[in-house]
Amino acid sequence: MSATPRRLAAAWKTVPRTYRGWAVGPARLADAPRIAALEREVFPEPMSLRQVLAALLQPDTCYLVVRDGRTIAAYFGFTACGPYAHVLANVTHPAYRRRGLARFVLTAAEPLARALGCRAFLGEVRVSNHAQQQVLEQIGWRTLAVLPRCFANGEDARIVFRPL
Ligand SMILES: CC(C)(COP(=O)(O)OP(=O)(O)OC[C@H]1O[C@@H](n2cnc3c(N)ncnc32)[C@H](O)[C@@H]1OP(=O)(O)O)[C@@H](O)C(=O)NCCC(=O)NCCS
């Protein structure tokens, strides 16, 4: 095993195995249809099943998943791009919201991003997405700028940043 996969495997050992009794771990290829279904349910511009599968196969991409049996309660995916861990998405299943899951997945993944050599998380949040902005504010993310018309429907994005 080369250095980065070894560091990532070591970082997974530091991630809590459970949250509120639900299982925490890396996404498997078999999770792709459920991740893609959640994407379709909550995002105006969801990743397709093919895109989710391609992401899961990338060695520089990491998905942390919280499972309640066969249900994915929450997930967070990001891709390492040099010093940045670019956020793909974090979603909490509608039936599992307001139990701290978003706060948990975003913070629990920090050692994984560091293990991939990243120095910061970087993401885009719709200006209308107040729930996500609240979560991020609580866990030390900052807004760097507002990017006009970042999304396909013309909505502006807050460019959000969390040093690692
Ligand atoms: C945004 C989202 C991820 C939040 O998930 P969550 O697991 O419910 O969030 P948490 O329970 O960790 O919330 C932590 C805190 O953030 C704030 N918060 C979360 N959702 C909120 C909402 N809808 N309205 C107001 N504040 C909210 C609260 O202060 C909450 O703490 P509290 O419940 O003790 O008051 C979830 O609503 C979601 O999946 N939305 C659709 C997908 C999305 O927008 N993803 C982010 C963009 S990639």
Residue 74 Cα: closest atom of ligand 1: 7
pTM of the model: 0.97
**pLDDT level of residue 153 (50, 70, 90 thresholds):** very high
Point out the ligand 1 atom lying closest to the alpha carbon of residue 135.
16
Q: Say if ligand 1 is within 6 A of residue 92 CB.
A: yes
Mean pLDDT of the chain: 97
Number of domains the chain contains: 1
Residue range 38-57: mean pLDDT, rounded: 97
Mind listing the pLDDT tens digit for each residue in 123-140? 999 999 999 999 999 999
**Residue 129, domain member (yes or no):** no
Q: Please give the distance, rounded to the nearest whole angstrom, from the Cα atom of residue 96 to the centre of ligand 1.
A: 10
Select from 33, 67, 37 the least CA-distant residue to 53. 33
Which amino acid is residue 145, in one-letter code? A
Q: How many residues does the chain have?
A: 164
Q: Which of 126, 122, 130 shows the shortest CA–CA distance to 160? A: 122
Structural domain contains residue 93: yes
In a domain, 149, yes or no: no
Per-residue pLDDT at 43: 97
Contact 4, 11 (CB under 8 A): no
Give the closest residue (by CA) to ligand 1 atom 23: 131
Q: What CATH number corresponds to the domain at position 39? A: 3.40.630.30
Task: With respect to residue 74, please indicate whether it lies within any of the assigned structural domains.
Answer: yes
Task: Give the pLDDT of residue 4.
Answer: 87
Whether residue 141 lies inside any domain: the answer is no
Residue 160 burial (10 A CB sphere; 0-12, 13-18, 19+): buried
Within a domain: 31: yes
Residue 137 lies in a domain: no
Q: Work out the pLDDT band at 1, boundaries 50, 70, 90.
A: low
* C-beta atoms surrounding 58 within 10 Å: 10
DSSP character string of 95-151: GG-SSSHHHHHHHHTHHHHHHTT-SEEEEEEETT-HHHHHHHHHTT-EEEEEETT-S
144 in a domain, yes or no?
A: no
Domain with 42 in it: 3-122
Contacts of residue 139, defined as CB under 8 A and 6 or more positions apart, other chains included, come to 103, 106, 107, 162
- Judged on CB neighbours under 10 Å (0-12, 13-18, 19+), 30 is exposed
